[in-house]
Amino acid sequence: METRFCLIQNHPLFLKEGKSLLKWNGWGYKDSKFSINKDQHVEFTGERYRLSGSTMPLLREWMKKTVGISLEHKSPSQSCTQDLNLVLENHDDVVKAVELAVKYNVVIIPFGGGTTVTSSLECPAFEKRMIVSLDTSQMNHILWVDEKNLTVRAECGIIGQDLERRLEERGYCTGHEPDSMEFSSLGGWVATRASGMKKNIYGNIEDLLVHVRFVTPRGVMEKSCQVPRMSSGPDIHHIILGSEGTMGVVTEVTLKIRPLPPCKKYGSIVFPSFENGVSCLREVAAQRCAPASIRLMDNEQFQFGAALKPESKSMLTNFMDGLKKFYITKLKGFDPNKLAVATLLFEGTKEEVAALEKRVYEIAAKFGGLPGGADNGERGYMLTFVIAYLRDLGFEYYIVAESFETSVPWDRCLDLCQNVKERLRRECKERRIQFPPYITCRVTQTYDAGACVYFYFGFNYRGISDPVHVYEEIESCARDEILANGGSISHHHGVGKIRKQWLKKTVGELGVGTMKALKAYIDPQNIFANNNLMMGNHSKL
């Protein structure tokens, strides 16, 4: 660390409103977190989420049962190191900064929302040159909105929720909603090949992208027109998409926009088993009638969702919940320890939504699925936003947890889910982790030829001396298993540093070589030396 210093120390902009609201050592807003109240129940503080301010009486029991958390065993707090930043205002600033970096041989690591889960922002320890973190948080303006072509031009640093909110004021949206959209940035989406929850209607980032400006050590790479499609050799956008800060900085982006949908409706389907659910999702994908979002949670996640249910003050709600449970488990004979739940989000005109709802529920019925109500659906989506906070609560009680994802062909989907879970369980056992790990997955996206599967994995590390290392080892085994099962290195998290070891296996020697050749041409001095993706050593760690 001693070789590193900052160009502009204590830059006031760094402390500007926006970042200061966020935690420095955990996920999300400072005012939003899970905590244990005086009645020894879990509550969620703040006012930002639907769950905020409520108590979840079932959660404590769930935590105890599934991962062996006990409130008497609190782990000592950990510290982390902060990095130094160069905060820039616009595209021209970036061009100048990169020119200077080339001139003085300074390393640049672009920084957007900082929501990476692949360690891609970590400074390589072996780097001897000065490292500048290029902070784009102040490049957060919408430059223009083109209603004729339905496009928006914005700077790279704009955060997802700000972009959507400002477009909403004009009656538009991009429809790109990754789970991190509260904190992740437009430039980051492009640089990591992001995927949004509602991709079924709006598409993933590569479908939304119309134009991008990319500042590299060789100059600015961009197309000269903003057209829907062209045939001009290999698409340079696809060099920029997913480049993970290894070749340059995204500064400005044009995305497609859509008028806001008049009708938005949640829904859910209860299946007797995860297998039925997967078959249903496969059929929905085959018939290409997926709603904006359709996700299938396995039983473990369903139970977790149930534990997150806030305390209800109303007798009627309690009564209705009881009735629903009775209907599904007793009358329909669903085993509460086997059933799986799909959450749905419909968007469109009222008529479109109604027609699609009908069609989806009809397909679901063929696979034994019963409509489970809008409330369950909405709670399912909320879960993905608050789960990161819950992880932070877990950290205080000896829980280490993370998520990882993959994409997989349909015929392999079920086997992959089952085998990865089994593998995780076995690796925990072999490492003598004394509490049962929490392992759950959901199918979060459907495509014509396959699906995206998202895993949560956590365990109680009381009695383990080096939990983070153990976690990483086990996750690495899980990725091996995923690849053996026909899954991919990633669906949308990217490669970063933690998945480099599988890149060569994924794209081949020639693939990595080609990426390296591009890098060598675009950045011969290795200014963008964050050591992600194809850079450096690829041998298995």
CA distance 267 to 188: 31
CB 519 within 8 A of CB 480: no
Handedness of CA 280, 286, 291, 295 (dihedral sign): positive
Q: Is 44 exposed, middle or buried (0-12, 13-18, 19+ CB in 10 A)?
A: buried
Per the annotation, the verdict on 361 as an active-site residue is no
Binding residues, by number, are: 192-195, 244-250, 391
CA distance 258 to 215: 28
Tell which one of 39, 415, 466, 509 touches other proteins (CB under 8 A). 415
For other proteins, give the closer residue by CB, 485 or 490: 485
For the sheet with 151-155, list strands across it.
142-146, 151-155, 249-256, 209-216, 219-221
- To other proteins, the closest distance from the beta carbon of 342 in angstroms equals 21
| Segment near other proteins (CB under 8 A); pick from 113-121, 239-247, 344-352, 407-415 | 407-415
- To other proteins, the closest distance from the beta carbon of 512 in angstroms equals 16
For other proteins, give the closer residue by CB, 56 or 416: 416
Containing 322, the helix (H) or strand (E) segment is helix 315-325
Residues 418-477 interacting with other proteins (rule: CB under 8 A)? 418-419, 422-423, 426
For other proteins, give the closer residue by CB, 286 or 484: 484
Q: Does 516 bind other proteins (CB under 8 A)?
A: no
- To other proteins, the closest distance from the beta carbon of 506 in angstroms equals 9
- To other proteins, the closest distance from the beta carbon of 483 in angstroms equals 5
Residues 268-287 interacting with other proteins (rule: CB under 8 A)? none
Q: Does 511 bind other proteins (CB under 8 A)?
A: no
Q: Does 509 bind other proteins (CB under 8 A)?
A: no
| Segment near other proteins (CB under 8 A); pick from 220-228, 244-252, 256-264, 412-420 | 412-420
Q: Does 486 bind other proteins (CB under 8 A)?
A: yes
For other proteins, give the closer residue by CB, 260 or 483: 483
- To other proteins, the closest distance from the beta carbon of 485 in angstroms equals 4
Q: How far is CA 148 from CA 151, 203, 211, 356, in A?
A: 8, 20, 16, 29
CA distance 163 to 168: 8
- Tokens in use for 188? 């980051």
- Tokens in use for 222? 């961009």
CA distance 152 to 253: 8
For other proteins, give the closer residue by CB, 199 or 282: 282
- To other proteins, the closest distance from the beta carbon of 486 in angstroms equals 4
Number of residues that bind other proteins (CB under 8 A): 15
Proportion of the chain in helix, strand, coil states, percent, rounded to 5: 35, 20, 45
Of the residues 454, 456, 461, 471, which is catalytic?
454
CA distance 12 to 136: 14
Tell which one of 31, 39, 99, 411 touches other proteins (CB under 8 A). 411
Whose CA is closest to 405, among 474, 455, 473? 455
Tell which one of 176, 481, 522, 527 touches other proteins (CB under 8 A). 481
For other proteins, give the closer residue by CB, 16 or 426: 426
Q: Does 412 bind other proteins (CB under 8 A)?
A: yes
Q: How far is CA 342 from CA 272, 308, 375, in A?
A: 11, 17, 12
Strand partners, 212: 253
Tell which one of 249, 278, 285, 416 touches other proteins (CB under 8 A). 416
Active site residues: 454
* Interaction site with other proteins (CB under 8 A): 411-412, 415-416, 418-419, 422-423, 426, 481, 483-486, 505
